[in-house]
Every structure is written in C-alpha cells, then in structure tokens.
C-alpha cells in the first residue's frame, strides 16, 4: 500500500488539524511525529473460516507509528486515490450495529469505523481499506470521489493522551483488492485484518437465554431450571450440549445494576453454585451475565463524570478495578459456571451507546486516571485482563468494541437487542447484523446476532424465519422461550433449529450468503448450500396482513 499523500495532526482536542511536514515517510508538527512503515502483505489466514471461500488476494499494508513528547489527540492520513462516483460504500460499527449497516452512495461526511469497501456498480469491482484488529487508536474512514482519509482518535477519554515520548503503533493499515464479488471481498478483508489472532475453537454456541421473556424481572431459580430443561428437551439428545444462560436480574441490585457480584438475590438465588450444578444435572452448560464496570458502592476508583441510576462507572486504569474483575471471574468459575457474558462496558466507559458515539466518541474534558495510554489501549488491556482471568470460561462480549475484542472474547454480540415484545426490532437489529457482519464469524470471534424470541407478544411465523436463518448460519443461536408460548408447532420448529445449529448449520455446504444485501438492509434472499432460501420479514408466511 502506498504511503499517505498528506498527514494532519491535532495535539489537543481544541487545536485545529495541523498539516505536517513530510520527510521520507515521516511527518512532524508541534512536537508530534508520524511515521509510515510498509508492513508487507498479510499472510494467508489459518482461521477455520477461511475454508468457506477460495484464497483471497493478499492485502498489502503499512504501520502508522506516532511519537509525541506532549499531548496527542488525533491524526488524519489522506490518500488521493479517486473513488468511482457510481460506488456503493460499506463500513462497520464501533461496537454493536443498530440496524444501520448498509451499502450507501458516496457521502463524504459519513464516518466508517474500522474498514470500508467501495463497490463500483459499472465495473462490478470492489475494493477498500481497513486496519488490523487490536489497533492503538479508534480508527475510522471517510471516502469521497477524490480519495479517502483514515482518522485515528488517539485521545484518552475526552482529552489528549500524554505519550511521554514513547512510540505508539497506532494502526496497521490494509488495502483490499477485489475478490470476485462484494461478499467475497468482505470475507477476504476481514481475513486480512485478523491474521495476527487465532480465536479459540469452542464449537457451536447454542442455548437458552431468559432475557427476552423475563427482561430481568420476576424470575427465580425454578424458572432458570425450567429454561435449562426446555433447551435440553429441544436438543433431543444431540451430542453437543447446549448452554443455559442466567441473564441480567439475578444479582441483588436488580435489572441493569452493577456489582458487587458476590451473591444472588435473597430468596430467589440463594445458592448460585447449587443453581449451576442443577443446570449441569439437567444436561446443559450454565452461563451467567454481569456488568463488570459498574458498582452500586461508592469508592475512589470511579470513572470521571460517569454514573447512572444503576450505579457508578469504574475506571479500569486503577489496578484495584482489575483486581475486582479478576475476583469476580474466579468466583463465577468457582460457582460452576462455564460461560460468562460481560455487558455494558462501552457504555460505562464512554457514557454513550454506539449511535451516539459517532466520530466524537465521548464528552470532552474528562480523562482516565492513567493519561499515558489511549482509550483504545486501555480497552484492549481491559479485554486482555478479562480473557486471562476467565481462563477456560466461554466469554461473550456484549456492548464490546469488535475490533478490540477480536480474539479476546469467544462470542461477540454484533447487533443491538432483538425483542420478545416487538418483532420489528428483531428484523431491524438481528437480520441486519447477521447479513453485514457474518464474515467476521470465526475470524474475529463467533458472531452472535442475538436471541430468537418465542413469546406470546411476537408472531412465531416471523420469529421462526429468523430462527431458520441463524441456525443455517452456524453463528451463535440463543433462544428465549416463554413457557406460555410453547406449542407443538413452536417446539418442533425450535427443536429443528437448535439441532441444526448444534451441528454447525450450513457450514459444511459453504455457509450462507445474503444475495440482495446491496439494496436491502435486511436481506430476504440467501444462498444456503446449492440452493436459495427466501424469507418474508414483513409479515407471517401466508398470514392476512389485516390481522396484524
């Protein structure tokens, strides 16, 4: 990949972007130096997912190195390489997607987290650029007809990072060539960005999760054990054991609250080791939800300015906070749980969910206790600490940053919540996430497009289609089954989907592919093996639209 045409540097958030003076692959201004070092081509991936597609073109790249004696906030690298006016542009999301992933006409101000593709509708060629996983900056792109720009957010919270003269590897940049189709090009791009990691082989991830009928309220150990018995019954003796996850609401603080995570609610979850063992005795693998960076107790390790009605956010640059996390994960493992889902960490760090983060990420002014590391470095270190402390536990990251969590969580919630109350939310969030982020599956982590609800409030004729799609994909499949919604028909459909997912879906037949994703944010036509499956997300198959 060619070195950038221009480089701009912003020492503090209130400074203008300053044009840096070039000198043989280096640019400097205001005490900050940016170096570009050719990184060669990304080697062929050994990830299991690579077997799904033919070998991709190698992705040449370059490393961006930043040195600053004082503060540094942002660096922008510009390439003057024209992009077709007829191009459709695709990008990723900071953390979960929110039904907003799509191919869109050129929009110069549209920020594109982590990577971008441009599909030329005249030539049929697709190309793009991106950064390797585990960068030292929050990386996004803008694309226009005359070229593209990589924006490196190097801040510490809402202020500058004080590198103290050290050299930071901010990102390794990749340029993607056409691999035959947009779908294949996205696969090869994700493969190129993830060659430095090897996700753990944890097999199919399938099970029950009670959130989308309980919503954190009114459930107890008896209800949890009923969920476990249900998913085991539906698996019908499959040799791969399903999980049964106790989601939010088991801890004394109640729905959405923070720790301490030392016990369950009195009278409902008095003995969590007993609960975990009872789930195992039924034939399922027990899992547990927690919110690692929120505490109901006041203390000196709070994140500046961040709290809500459920507790106070913790600053992970305090060693004592990491000690708490290590103790929590050891406790969950000692209780007998085999899976842990950690949630809300991006919100507790930034004070915002993905759509509100935008290009600015967080409020100005506040900083972490340790101001010598970028926010990206701090989050990467946090995920690495959780991974190490979890040992062999299966980790699900929810509201975690995909490009930083890659290889450090086993499963990633790639889309915002589906719903057991509103089908439209499941269509918008679940189908969109699966269609546009499935190439990350088994390269970054196991993709989780979120639960398939089975509830009286949502139409089963629509939910069963989502069940079929997720099961065929081979990605994580969790079901939220309200006992009041079970019928012979739902049990038959759920059993078929669960057993297909436990067997790996259509992976042996080459996986699945959205065929109309260039023009549809929730694709209805999908290649599955040698055939095509069509879904109708707008109303139940054969139902009267006037019936609601």
List per-residue pLDDT tens for the chain, 548 residues long.
899 999 999 999 999 999 999 998 899 999 999 999 998 776 655 444 444 555 556 677 899 999 999 999 999 999 999 999 999 999 999 999 999 999 999 999 999 999 999 999 999 999 999 999 999 999 999 999 999 999 999 999 999 999 999 999 999 999 999 999 999 999 999 999 999 999 999 999 999 999 999 999 989 999 999 999 999 999 999 999 999 999 999 999 888 899 999 999 999 999 999 999 999 999 999 999 999 999 999 888 988 877 777 889 999 999 999 999 999 999 999 999 999 999 999 999 999 999 999 999 999 999 999 999 999 999 999 999 999 999 999 999 999 999 999 999 999 999 999 999 999 999 999 999 999 999 999 999 999 999 999 999 999 999 999 999 999 999 999 999 999 999 999 999 999 999 999 999 998 788 999 999 999 999 999 999 889 999 999 865 443 333 33
CATH 3.20.20.70 corresponds to the domain 206-505:
yes
Structure tokens at 124: 């049929």
Contact 79, 59 (CB under 8 A): no
pTM over 0.85: yes
What residues does CATH 3.20.20.70 cover in the chain? Answer: 206-505
> What is the C-alpha separation between 426 and 153, in angstroms, rounded?
32
∠ Cα 537 543 548 (to 5°): 80
488-502 and 460-473 helices, crossing angle to 10°: 10
> What is the C-alpha separation between 249 and 244, in angstroms, rounded?
15
Alpha carbon 431 to its chain centroid, in Å, reads: 15
- What count of other Cβ atoms lies within 10 Å of the Cβ of residue 379? 21
Positive or negative, the CA dihedral 449, 234, 216, 320 is: negative
Query: Which of 530, 523, 529, 515 shows the shortest CA–CA distance to 465?
Result: 523
> What is the C-alpha separation between 138 and 309, in angstroms, rounded?
28
Structure tokens at 214: 């309980």
Q: Which residue is associated with the tokens 């999760």? A: 209
> What is the C-alpha separation between 522 and 436, in angstroms, rounded?
9
């Amino acid at each position: 990949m060619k070195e950038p045409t221009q480089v701009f540097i912003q020492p503090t958030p209130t400074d203008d972007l300053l044009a840096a003076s070039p000198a043989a692959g280096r640019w400097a201004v205001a005490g900050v130096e940016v170096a570009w070092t050719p990184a060669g081509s990304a080697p062929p991936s050994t990830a299991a997912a690579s077997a799904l597609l033919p070998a991709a073109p190698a992705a040449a790249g370059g490393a961006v190195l930043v040195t600053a004696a004082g503060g540094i906030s942002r660096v922008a690298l510009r390439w003057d390489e024209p992009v077709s006016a007829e191009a459709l542009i695709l990008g990723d999301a900071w953390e979960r997607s929110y039904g907003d992933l799509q191919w869109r006409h050129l929009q110069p101000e549209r920020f594109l987290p982590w990577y971008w593709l441009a599909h030329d509708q005249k030539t049929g060629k697709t190309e793009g650029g991106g950064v390797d996983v585990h960068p030292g900056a929050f990386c996004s792109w803008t694309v226009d007809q005359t070229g593209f720009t990589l924006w490196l957010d190097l801040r510490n919270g809402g202020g500058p990072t004080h590198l103290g003269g050290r050299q930071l590897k901010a990102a390794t940049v990749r340029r993607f060539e056409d691999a035959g189709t947009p779908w294949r090009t996205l696969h090869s791009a994700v493969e190129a960005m993830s060659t430095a990691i090897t996700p753990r082989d944890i097999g199919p991830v399938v099970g029950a999760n009670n959130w989308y009928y309980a919503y954190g309220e009114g459930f107890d150990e008896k209800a949890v054990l009923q969920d476990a018995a249900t998913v085991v019954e539906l698996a019908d003796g499959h040799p791969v054991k399903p999980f049964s996850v106790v989601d939010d609401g088991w801890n004394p603080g109640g729905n959405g609250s923070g720790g301490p995570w030392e016990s369950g609610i009195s009278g409902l979850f008095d003995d969590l080791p007993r609960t975990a063992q009872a789930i195992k005795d039924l034939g399922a693998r027990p899992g547990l939800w927690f919110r690692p960076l929120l505490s109901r107790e006041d203390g000196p390790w709070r994140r500046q300015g961040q709290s809500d009605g459920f507790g106070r956010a913790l600053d992970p640059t305090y060693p004592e906070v990491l000690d708490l996390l290590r103790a929590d994960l050891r406790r969950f493992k000692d209780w007998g749980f085999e899976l842990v889902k950690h949630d809300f960490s991006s919100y507790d760090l930034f004070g915002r969910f993905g759509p509100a983060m935008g290009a600015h990420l967080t409020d100005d002014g506040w900083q972490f206790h340790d101001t010598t590391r970028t926010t990206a470095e701090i989050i990467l270190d946090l995920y690495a600490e959780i991974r190490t402390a979890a040992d062999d536990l299966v980790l699900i990251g929810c509201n975690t940053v995909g490009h930083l969590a890659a290889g450090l969580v086993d499963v990633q919630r790639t889309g915002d919540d589906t719903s057991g109350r509103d089908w439209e939310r499941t269509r918008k969030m679940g189908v969109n996430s699966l269609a546009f982020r499935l190439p990350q599956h088994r390269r970054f982590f196991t993709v989780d497009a979120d639960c398939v609800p089975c509830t009286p409030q949502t139409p089963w004729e629509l939910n069963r289609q989502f069940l079929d799609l997720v099961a065929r994909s081979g990605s994580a499949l969790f079901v939220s089954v309200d006992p009041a919604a079970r019928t012979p028909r739902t049990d038959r459909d759920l059993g078929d989907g669960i057993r297909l997912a436990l067997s790996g879906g259509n992976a042996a037949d080459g996986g699945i592919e959205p065929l109309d994703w260039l023009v549809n944010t929730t694709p209805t036509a999908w290649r599955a093996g040698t055939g095509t499956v069509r879904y109708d997300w707008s109303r139940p198959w054969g139902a009267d639209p006037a019936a609601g």
